[in-house]
Structure 1
Amino acid sequence: MNVMNDSPRRKELTRQAAQLFVQEGFDRTTVRMLAQEMGIKSGSLFHHFRDKQEILAAVIEEGTENALGIARAALDDCDSDPASRLHAMARAHLETLLTDRNAHVVALYEWRRLDAPARAHLSHLRDAYEALWEEVIDDALAAGLIRGDRFLVSRFVMGALNWTVRWYDPDGERTPDELAGELVAMLTHPAG
């Protein structure tokens, strides 16, 4: 399976499909709707994609590749102490949600709609992203910065960050950096 393609037109079509999948849901989105949104004929869509499944896989792959790139760059650019790395990952995750929201939402809510070959093809990207989080959380646990089970901590953190797509207003009173700081403060300064 070769989902990614550097064609600017295909990338634009993928972004438009992501928006439609967010608005309508994957199951309710038809090929005709996709073609209309993209300003092409239904048959022309198949010049760029084999089928609707490949479009979904392309959306998720592009979004996950972007998330990985943002996270890796954030870790490369931050200090090496566990608190800085935890903050950098939280900020990178929020940046992904804010700059590539549609692809991220599709990956969160439509992953289960992927067929088995697409899931197998894309699992390594999801696993690589989760591995970055696990490494950062392991370092924070080892330093005594946070406590708990790595699996649960990573799921709670990513769940909280992912939920921001529902309530966070980028034009509101808190910046993504401040939001990431709040999350790290909650994790590292337990009540009591």
Structure 2
Amino acid sequence: MESLEIIILAAGSSSRLGQPKQLVVYQGKTLIEHIVSNALIVSPNVTVVLGSHAKNIEWVLNQAQLFPKIVYNSDWKQGMGSSIKTGVSSLANKQAPIMILLSDQPAVQTNLLWQMIHLYQEKKPEIVACDYGGKLGVPMLFSPQVRHELLMLSGDQGARSFLQHYSDTTLTVPFALGVWDIDTPKDMAELVNKKLDKLQIR
């Protein structure tokens, strides 16, 4: 989808993990390589928001021959909301739909992203969100009409903070594995036991 803008949030310090989660290796690739490479398959317009560990992450992407647009959030310590605002503010195409991804969800595959895109193209909702089994979360896809809400985020606010305002115009795709991210050493230890290629992600 050539008009789609994808923003990958990768600015956090991973304080609970004790090392940059973006650079954790799974199945031979770092998590940041995994999400960037998948994003570039579905759209040429990929922006990665960096903050903490920016130089190391950018070096890894360059070594992997992955060249998304890089923007830096100098206020990354304030939280996710500031990184979303930084990413959205950097986009030149004000009329493009925007998909937001995280760098620490290994279960995100291109089939999920395509499913979200096709649903958006077919039904034209304001938001397409992933359903973790009653809880909505990222990946999320936003119509241009929701752009102003993304630009109003601050601190540690994520898009969940305004989802209730769009409940009538939000569609979802099931993504049970969305609850699995890499925040703690326990999460990272479990990573080696996960065989995502053998799991059916609907």
**TM-score, normalized by the shorter chain, greater than 0.5:** no
More helix by share: 1
TM-score, scaled relative to structure 2: 0.27
TM-score (norm 1): 0.28
Larger CA Rg, structure 1 vs 2:
1
